[in-house]
Structure 1
């Protein structure tokens, strides 16, 4: 039996804001300088689809949801280390099937009802048993028991060394008030009500939900843990990044969490600064079957031209580095780094030998980084005689490429996992049944190695197998890793302890840790 003590995951939340009269005047909805000190104003690029922690794959709003709701465990800010949250400690049985969680004391839901083991089981059953979008996180949980109010015992159907990572994921299962679930269950397991309402245990409460306009979180002054610095979080929906930048420069908001143009990061206006952190934001190319890259010589020539070491600085400056494997650099440090060929003369000769080679690159998003990467690769490909063009796919089209009669040769996309275990990368993007195996390609030999790796608890042996499988996917021309990009937030000077986590989607500031400071 292995015992895992709770590890603290809170920053010391002290600090002060040197507010000026100008900031106070510009601050929307505030009439005093003091109000500006304890209100954080954050824009979202996209609207919140749902606030239900079980029934939506939100990305931009994860920090809001995960500061209202809490799970048993989480990733420590700035790392992939798993620490206790609502579970103060846990044990795993020697056979890897039974997880016993000992719950934190003195926790209450926002509605004042007590948090206990029954609430954990009720919340987990809601997610697992009712066909909700994120039910797969608990698919392997076959039994749940509550020996007492402060203990939860979960029994798995088969050993799953990645299980704690699943629980720690930003999309992992959260605990919802049993009373709220019962009161608002109109035969839909409260899904309609929870789209725009919330009752969790977190450091913030959802106070206002105006779809498409404004969301407000209020500090939970009865929070069981360390109190947040900010009294209120005001979230506005501002899709236009140029408008966000103007608002930040005018002092009307406090940060631009994502999509600040990389080319402008070296010449920020006074009063602004950058917080950057490692992140699992890898850009990949997925290759369709029966493309020109099926020919090994053509593929080698193309790899020579698109070698990310040639263009990563032009695209992202100091905020990205070439991917070292088909897994995010933060997730796995490979013994043998994936290598791109470098001989341009050989590449040009190969293309000349094979006649005209034309490639079409589909871009998963219209975000500026996609177009910048595509333009740089197209220019590089032209140097060896390959004609390439790129276009932005319609919204959602990337998920249906295997059924598209005329798909692009290459899909450029971010392939970020939903948890930090390599299984969450391989079985989401590469294996036969992976939900985001975009072109439906299969390499049974590599899949078998992934299955073998998924049973191991020895991290070194596990990672060696995942690395081997990843090399096979790359060598077969199924996936081409390009660059890993940092999480970059541009904000007003003095904003500290943003609590960025590698597994979170970019720009998700932790409202529980962020503060003003000197």
Structure 2
């Protein structure tokens, strides 16, 4: 899933004085003063603030990190795992044909504004996603019966609620009907787009709801100063019990090297690679006093995308040549400091559906040059072939370093590479906006919206997922891949689905719409007095169980 949240006031350096209680006869000296943050406050350091705080509009990991704290969904993840558990729904039933989900909702849950959560509120929240039909709507739109027709202005049933598979059965029962049986549908409902929002707050704030978010989650929104911080406070009436800390601050620290310094000083409590910390800095921090680290193979992937319907990248031989030119050893061992795994195809190696029999691309300059010759881009007398451009977001130094590495590698086969950087919000608009603004190459990552191979192949490679309707910003289109994607998402048998995805991996590896860079290994870095902060492979951040001592 590619968004996250805003921030208000800058956190200042705070000193926590630990004083030994005095006794009548003599005065005790205080213990040494240690820098740090208050015990009732969690300060999360991130290089990037949110773009949106409205779950129906936000579609980036930075925004999602904050939204997850403010809002709840019907289904959630068990602490520290990808296993599902009830959240706003106490339980559910699935019809024998796998197309009807009946959710029995928790009673007594209230939004942060005091209004009640019930089936009408959940219906309102899901229908609102379809009414707005912003980028994240793609996560649920095609699964809810009638969702595609409801959001299509060309369809006679456009905005006709009668066709939607959403039904309020009674005050605390909601039924969702899907277009077809789809095994991961419950996982889909863990995504932030399926969050319950306060109908009263939406009506009150209108288009400004994203600056005044109201959910049922463990933390209430306090303030957001864009580019500085987001401040939250504990929801003392949370249905799972109050959080362990009173306040949360997401502090924006655009420079990764400063992020490293602040976790060392204790002016932030939590950071990590999922929040923008560089792999080389993780390596330096592992042996630091008063710091803890935790690693876990993640489901996030990084790739260089080619705009495949524009010259020269409409020829797969050019795309393959660039893939053969890259120095993967330097990428993994130098830029990533070993914190990353090679992969090929659109599915990460630690998720079922990956095809380990498909060979990785390895550096081969002779093969790269030959492919460019065959594609009609021979070198001139000076060895030069052509010039192109790669784009990345300016706050990501890893992507900068990868761009510089590729620039050097391509020069060896006669290609000049210009590197351009954009601010994160602008970069997202360039990649996913209504108007196409990048027609060469770009570096991006993908964190799954739900844990299933479908969430890689459908949004990133299906021809119907071109922006602004989806995230296939390479404009890749292969009729056979489209056919396999649709067949796999409708197939109820797990073993058959797995074989379909392995075939997709084989074809996509050959077509090479991406340079397959790496699958991430996420590393959480916390102060030693921070407990219960877990690394989730799906890039999920949960501060509810976290506490400090």
- TM-superposed deviation, 1:343: 8.0
Helix, strand or coil at the partner of 1:481: strand
- TM-superposed deviation, 1:453: 0.6
Matched, 1:259 2:276: yes
Aligned to 2:156: none
Aligned to 1:360: 388
Aligned to 2:544: 512
- TM-superposed deviation, 1:52: 1.8
Q: Is the 8 A contact 1:300 1:347 kept in 2?
A: no
Q: How large is the RMSD of aligned CA atoms in angstroms?
A: 3.2
Pairs within 5 Å for 1:277-426: 277-287=296-306, 288-289=308-309, 302-306=322-326, 308=328, 311-340=331-360, 342=362, 344=364, 347=367, 350=370, 355-356=378-379, 357-358=385-386, 360-366=388-394, 367-381=396-410, 385-394=413-422, 395=427, 396-399=429-432, 403=436, 407-408=439-440, 410-426=441-457
Pairs within 5 Å for 1:92-103: 92-103=94-105
Q: Is the 8 A contact 2:322 2:515 kept in 1?
A: no
> Among 241, 252, 264, which residue is 1:249 paired with?
264
Aligned to 1:479: 514
Relative to structure 1, the CA distance from residue 479 to residue 299 in structure 2 (aligned partners, 3 Å threshold; closer, same or farther) is: closer
- TM-superposed deviation, 1:484: 0.6
Q: Is the 8 A contact 1:364 1:398 kept in 2?
A: no
Aligned to 1:11: none
**Runs of at least 5 residues in structure 1 that lack an aligned partner in the other structure:** 1-17, 29-35
Q: Is the 8 A contact 1:278 1:487 kept in 2?
A: yes
Q: Structure 2 length normalisation: TM-score?
A: 0.77
- TM-superposed deviation, 1:454: 1.1
> Among 426, 446, 452, which residue is 2:481 paired with?
446
Aligned to 1:14: none
Alpha-carbon distance in structure 2 between the residues aligned to 1:490 and 1:97: 42
Pairs within 5 Å for 1:80-119: 80-119=82-121
Q: Is the 8 A contact 2:346 2:505 kept in 1?
A: yes
Q: Is the 8 A contact 2:352 2:453 kept in 1?
A: yes
Aligned to 2:211: 196
- TM-superposed deviation, 1:321: 0.5
- TM-superposed deviation, 1:378: 4.2
Instruction: Kindly provide the CA deviation profile for residues 246-305 of structure 1, in whole angstroms up to 9, marking residues without a partner as x.
Output: 333332222334222322322224333323333232111323346567777766554444
Aligned to 1:15: none
Relative to structure 1, the CA distance from residue 83 to residue 289 in structure 2 (aligned partners, 3 Å threshold; closer, same or farther) is: same
Alpha-carbon distance in structure 1 between the residues aligned to 2:99 and 2:200: 31
**Count of residues paired in the alignment:** 480
Q: Structure 1 length normalisation: TM-score?
A: 0.82
**Runs of at least 5 residues in structure 2 that lack an aligned partner in the other structure:** 1-14, 19-30, 146-163, 380-384
Alpha-carbon distance in structure 1 between the residues aligned to 2:367 and 2:299: 31
Relative to structure 1, the CA distance from residue 496 to residue 289 in structure 2 (aligned partners, 3 Å threshold; closer, same or farther) is: same
Matched, 1:225 2:240: yes
